[in-house]
Structure 1
């Protein structure tokens, strides 16, 4: 939580798939901070696992969370529930949060 309070520069999208998912969801750095903060505060911890940045990249010890979030959808003119899956790790130096997965659960 301390890293998230440091601002958008502390969160780094770590994988190509995560970058594509974040782009498709149209999330900016402030949105990512809010989403990860909410997941840690009230989401469901689903486990820890080792993740490797492909191809043959470094490994990171990650925590995964599931979060149901109610968001306003203008096209529907109502709030809808969205189920997010987030996986992240704290970098080796302890100064950045590496976002490994950030997508909607289907």
Structure 2
């Protein structure tokens, strides 16, 4: 049996085993949005926690964590979707909040206005000092 390590501040009722699919957490949001937004004002407090997230940050944001921090900073409570347990593929789990946000941006090549919908999923670390990004993509 593999021991599961919970790396998030929220740690009530973690899954007994990994790889059982998405396990939703009924109570949510789990983290005070204003506290998360205050943490990411320092982009060094933002960490891509999964391989998929690292790949998405490279693909969609050119590894620019400040852009991701800006997205989190512009979230509103009404952007909240749900909460669930997520794993990082290395035996650790985190209880995460998921948000969706719509923004209007300019295409770099044409300057044309575009509507972009972003999906963000994150947890606050057990120490309360990092925001662990699980997912961040359009």
TM-score for the superposition, normalised by structure 2 = 0.68
Q: Distance in 2 between matches of 1:43 and 1:33?
A: 18
Which of 30, 36, 42 aligns to 2:72? It is 36
- Larger proportion of strand: 1
Q: Which runs of 5+ in 2 are unaligned?
A: 1-36
Q: Distance in 1 between matches of 2:78 and 2:89?
A: 27
**Residue 43 of structure 1 contacts residue 68 of structure 1 at CA under 8 Å; is this kept in 2?**
no
> CA 1:79–1:43 in 2, change beyond 3 Å: closer, same or farther?
farther
Secondary structure at the residue paired with 2:40? Answer: helix
TM-score for the superposition, normalised by structure 1 = 0.87
Poorly superposed stretches of 4+, deviation over 4 Å: none
Q: Does structure 1 residue 3 correspond to structure 2 residue 36?
A: no
Q: How many residue pairs are counted as aligned between the two chains?
A: 101
**Bigger-Rg structure (1/2):** 2
Give the aligned CA root-mean-square deviation in angstroms.
1.5
RCO (CA 8 Å, sep 6+): is it higher in 1 or 2? 2
Q: Which runs of 5+ in 1 are unaligned?
A: none
Q: Distance in 1 between matches of 2:119 and 2:81?
A: 9
How many angstroms does 1:78 deviate by? 1.4
Secondary structure at the residue paired with 1:36? Answer: helix
How many angstroms does 1:30 deviate by? 1.1
Which of 8, 12, 16 aligns to 2:51? It is 16
Which of 81, 84, 91 aligns to 2:118? It is 84
